[in-house]
């Protein structure tokens, strides 16, 4: 998942990624920009948005957002500035968000004065926001590390007249439109459904499975697990959830999966709430000699993508589209600067990723071709 450190990536793989440009913010990504204005990628799926917002709001699809060329010019003429306050900036989800934001802000003529990294520490994020406020940005785009302990800092920003757009969740006691413009997220509920269907198909609709969930009060991960379990229970009577294990962080996946496999040696499959702990489950399966275990997850990280391309235990996943999410957040900031009414909750459609579409999916998620190792694996394992 986006809100946790990808510490499980080997240094060699990470070096390849950096060499290939995935971790580099200066890449020239394309956005949905034309003579007609600015939108997110209109070739994304038109699937219904199933997630609800933090306050139970129905979602508006990010594909409906747009700025005309006239509106873009109005924004350019304003000489506006923006800042980006991340919870953690060292993973591919965060970097893709920042890339999308920066590319769109560039098209809008908005100068990004700073990008901060709170390193998952609420107190650092509070300090980051205070530092940013000293630079008087017109816009701050951010994802709160903790919805409670950072709320006062965001409230101060709102009271100073800064236009706030949030990724995934909002701070407590802030309300739209008085305090912030909008929350933008992936369709996490939809991605949970996608992961359920992929796992069920890989098991031919029958078997015993485990669920590894996020043992924290975190809105987006709860939606994923709720959707996965509801879909299995309602649509696949031949599949039984026989084990559940909670993780508190990204590095708990191997430990929890290993214990699950020890207690349930006949387990046919496991759902893991995001891809980094799924990497741990993959390691646990190999250690247990369970190459036949089917795994599904959410988020298209490099290790998961490589295993899917190879035809390994990870059969597929539901993917977020962080680059497009960043573009949508920038467009909503533009709405605020223009005084244009904005929806309070916006979501980017879910994306089903399997071996059949792994290369196209990578292009959609990161707006660039898959690293060569994934391309090579996909070609070697073409059906």
Q: What is the pLDDT along the chain (383 residues), one digit of tens a residue?
A: 444 433 333 333 333 332 233 322 222 334 454 446 999 998 887 888 989 888 888 999 999 999 999 999 999 999 999 999 999 887 778 999 999 999 999 999 999 999 999 998 999 999 999 999 999 999 999 999 888 999 999 999 999 999 999 999 899 999 999 999 999 999 999 999 999 999 999 999 999 999 999 997 778 899 999 999 999 999 999 999 999 999 988 889 999 999 999 999 999 999 999 999 999 999 999 999 999 999 999 999 999 999 999 999 999 999 999 999 999 999 999 999 999 999 999 999 999 999 999 999 999 998 889 999 999 999 998 86
Partners of 186 in the beta sheet? 348
The answer to whether the CB of 171 falls within 8 A of the CB of 151 is yes
For 67, the 3-state DSSP assignment is strand
Quick one: 251 and 373 in the same domain?
yes
Quick one: 52 and 121 in the same domain?
yes
Give residue 266's pLDDT.
95
Quick one: 39 and 155 in the same domain?
yes
Give residue 32's pLDDT.
54
Looking at residue 271, which CATH number applies to its domain? 3.40.50.2300
Quick one: 267 and 136 in the same domain?
no
* Cis preceding-peptide flag for 71 (omega within 30 of 0): no
Domain count, the chain: 2
Give residue 217's pLDDT.
72
In a domain, 4, yes or no: no
In a domain, 2, yes or no: no
In a domain, 89, yes or no: yes
Give residue 7's pLDDT.
36
Q: Give residues with Cβ within 8 angstroms of 179, minimum separation 6.
A: 154, 155, 158, 164
In a domain, 1, yes or no: no
In a domain, 3, yes or no: no
In a domain, 225, yes or no: yes
Quick one: 156 and 236 in the same domain?
no
Residue count of the chain: 383
Quick one: 315 and 365 in the same domain?
yes
Q: CA of 143: how far to CAs of 113, 126, 185, in Å?
A: 17, 12, 10
Quick one: 46 and 98 in the same domain?
yes
Quick one: 237 and 295 in the same domain?
yes
In a domain, 152, yes or no: yes
Quick one: 199 and 161 in the same domain?
no
Give residue 36's pLDDT.
67
Cα separation of 347 and 177, whole Å?
Answer: 17
Quick one: 263 and 124 in the same domain?
no
The answer to whether the CB of 170 falls within 8 A of the CB of 147 is yes
Quick one: 358 and 344 in the same domain?
no
Long-range (24+ apart) CB contacts under 8 A made by 308-311 are 308/353, 308/354, 308/355, 308/358, 309/355, 309/358, 309/359, 309/374, 309/377, 309/378, 309/381, 310/377, 310/380, 310/381, 311/355, 311/381
The answer to whether the CB of 108 falls within 8 A of the CB of 67 is yes
- Please name which of 33, 31, 25 lies closest in space to residue 67, comparing C-alpha atoms: 33
Residue written as token pair 């026989």? 242
Quick one: 246 and 332 in the same domain?
no
Give the number of other Cβ atoms within 10 Å of residue 19's Cβ.
12
Q: Give residues with Cβ within 8 angstroms of 115, minimum separation 6.
A: 25, 83, 84, 86, 89, 98
In a domain, 108, yes or no: yes
Residue 150, domain extent: 11-185+322-348
CA R_g for the chain? 20
Give residue 28's pLDDT.
30
């Amino acid at each position: 998942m986006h809100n946790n450190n990808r510490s499980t990536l080997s240094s060699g793989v990470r070096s390849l990624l950096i060499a290939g440009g995935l971790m580099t913010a200066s890449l020239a990504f394309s956005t949905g920009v034309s003579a007609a204005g600015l939108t997110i990628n209109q070739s994304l799926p038109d699937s219904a948005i199933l997630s609800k917002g933090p306050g139970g709001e129905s979602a508006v699809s990010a594909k409906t957002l747009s700025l005309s060329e006239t509106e873009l010019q109005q924004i350019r003429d304003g000489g506006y500035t923006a800042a980006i306050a991340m919870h953690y900036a060292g993973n591919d989800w965060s970097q893709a968000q920042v890339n999308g934001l920066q590319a769109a802000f560039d098209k809008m003529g908005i100068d990004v004065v700073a990008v901060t990294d709170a390193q998952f520490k609420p107190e650092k994020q509070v300090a980051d926001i205070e530092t940013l406020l000293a630079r008087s940005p017109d816009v701050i785009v951010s994802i709160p590390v903790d919805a409670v302990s950072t709320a006062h800092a965001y409230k101060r920003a709102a009271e100073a007249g800064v236009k706030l757009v949030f990724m995934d969740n909002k701070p407590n006691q802030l309300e739209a439109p008085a305090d912030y413009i909008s929350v933008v997220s992936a369709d996490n509920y939809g991605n949970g459904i996608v992961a359920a269907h992929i796992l069920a198909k890989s098991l031919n609709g029958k078997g015993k499975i485990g669920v590894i969930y996020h043992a924290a009060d975190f809105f987006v991960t709860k939606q994923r697990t709720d959707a996965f379990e509801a879909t299995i229970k309602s649509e696949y009577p031949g599949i039984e959830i026989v084990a559940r294990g909670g993780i508190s962080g990204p590095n708990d996946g191997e430990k929890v999966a290993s214990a699950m496999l020890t207690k349930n040696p006949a387990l046919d499959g496991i759902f893991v709430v995001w891809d980094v702990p799924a990497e741990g489950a993959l390691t646990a399966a190999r250690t247990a000699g369970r190459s036949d275990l089917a795994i599904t997850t959410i988020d298209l990280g490099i290790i998961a993508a490589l295993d899917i391309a190879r035809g390994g235990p990870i059969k597929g996943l539901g993917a977020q589209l962080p680059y497009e999410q960043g573009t949508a957040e920038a467009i909503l900031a533009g709405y605020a600067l223009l005084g244009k009414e904005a929806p309070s909750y916006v979501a980017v459609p879910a994306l089903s990723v399997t071996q059949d579409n792994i290369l196209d999916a990578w292009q959609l998620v990161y707006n660039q071709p898959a690293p060569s190792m994934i391309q090579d694996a996909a070609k070697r394992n073409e059906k």
